[in-house]
Amino acid sequence: MIEVTNITKKFGKLQVLKGISAKCEAAQCIALIGPNGCGKTTLIKNILGMVVPDSGTITVLGTDISRGWKYRSAIGYMPQIGKYPENMKIGQVIEMLMDIRRMEQKTDEDLINAFALPQLYHKRMGTLSGGTMQKVSAAIAFLFKPQILILDEPTAGLDPVASEILKEKIITEKENGKLFIITSHILSELDELVSRVIYMHDGNILFNNTIEALKADTGETKLSRAIAHFMSKN
């Protein structure tokens, strides 16, 4: 579904991506992990078209993203720190997005209801706590039933109940054949979700394989331990 070939990106003097190539297929749940500043978010932003790569190509669902923008309707994105117009209310943001994308298929409002967002519709985005903001971001990401979901630190600010709701949603949607790319530092959370791991370090992909292969390689049963093992080897 997503194919990234030889992506490089420089911010000023800093080479953030040093020739990344990867392939992601449907019905996978990919954990994109690595230390802070390794280029995870930049890679995601490249795929989303928010950052334009210096070289290399990205195709989503078979189309080169540098030549289009419609592919983004196939992607739901939940940012690490949601940024929303401060003066808008939650209801207005959701309403606006639905208005702008009205021509599209029916919406998936499971998470909106599960997080009980309608009760908070009158609250201004500027006044929200980090957790509530994350709930809004998650709900928006799933709203238009995208085939690809990119979740950047999805559970970082969520309370355990919300976190659990989100995880269950991920599992059901994965079974519906959707592709998930999730970045997280809390590896224990990913254990039950992830089918594949991409490990990035300093702008390169060091590891890209199924979770079974990783566990077999390292001889560990838990993802977090397997990664720790892997990191210490390098």
Partner 1 sequence: MGKIIKYILLDIIKNKIVIAYTIFLLAITLSVFSLEDNSQKGMLTLLNLVLFIVPLVSIIFSTIYIYNSSEYIELLISQPIQRKSIWLSIFVGLSSALTLAFLLGVGLPLLLFEQSAVSFMMTAMGVFISIIFVVLAMLASVTTRDKAKGIGITILLWIYFSLLFDGLILFLLFQFADYPLEKPMVGVSMLNPLDLGRILILLKMDISALMGYTGAIFKDFFGTKTGMALSVTVMFLWVLLPLLYSLRKFKHKDL
Strand order across the 63-64 sheet: 14-24, 2-11, 55-60, 63-64
Selected from 13, 14, 62, 69, the binder of partner 1 by CB under 8 A is 69
Which residue is associated with the tokens 């709930």? 135
Binding to partner 1 by residue 222, rule CB under 8 A? Answer: no
- Min. distance of Cβ 100 from partner 1 in angstroms? 5
CA distance 135 to 142: 11
Determine the size of the site formed for partner 1 (CB under 8 A).
Answer: 26
Other CB atoms within a 10 A radius of the CB of residue 123 amount to: 16
Selected from 28, 30, 60, 84, the binder of partner 1 by CB under 8 A is 84
Least Cα distance to 75 among 39, 50, 42, 102 occurs for 50
Selected from 36, 67, 87, 234, the binder of partner 1 by CB under 8 A is 87
Give whichever of 58 and 223 is closer to partner 1, judged by the CB atom. 58
Least Cα distance to 92 among 126, 141, 48 occurs for 126
Q: Are 70 and 49 in contact (CB under 8 A)?
A: no
Selected from 39, 41, 45, 149, the binder of partner 1 by CB under 8 A is 45
Handedness of CA 186, 191, 196, 199 (dihedral sign): positive
Residues 6+ apart with CB under 8 A from 218: 225, 226, 229, 230
Binding to partner 1 by residue 207, rule CB under 8 A? Answer: no
Binding to partner 1 by residue 52, rule CB under 8 A? Answer: yes
Binding to partner 1 by residue 100, rule CB under 8 A? Answer: yes
- Min. distance of Cβ 83 from partner 1 in angstroms? 4
Written as six digits, the tokens of 131 are: 């957790």
Binding to partner 1 by residue 23, rule CB under 8 A? Answer: no
Binding to partner 1 by residue 50, rule CB under 8 A? Answer: yes
The residue type of 32 is: L
Binding to partner 1 by residue 37, rule CB under 8 A? Answer: no
Binding to partner 1 by residue 216, rule CB under 8 A? Answer: no
Contact residues: partner 1, CB under 8 A: 11, 45, 48-52, 69-73, 77, 79, 83-88, 93, 96-97, 99-101
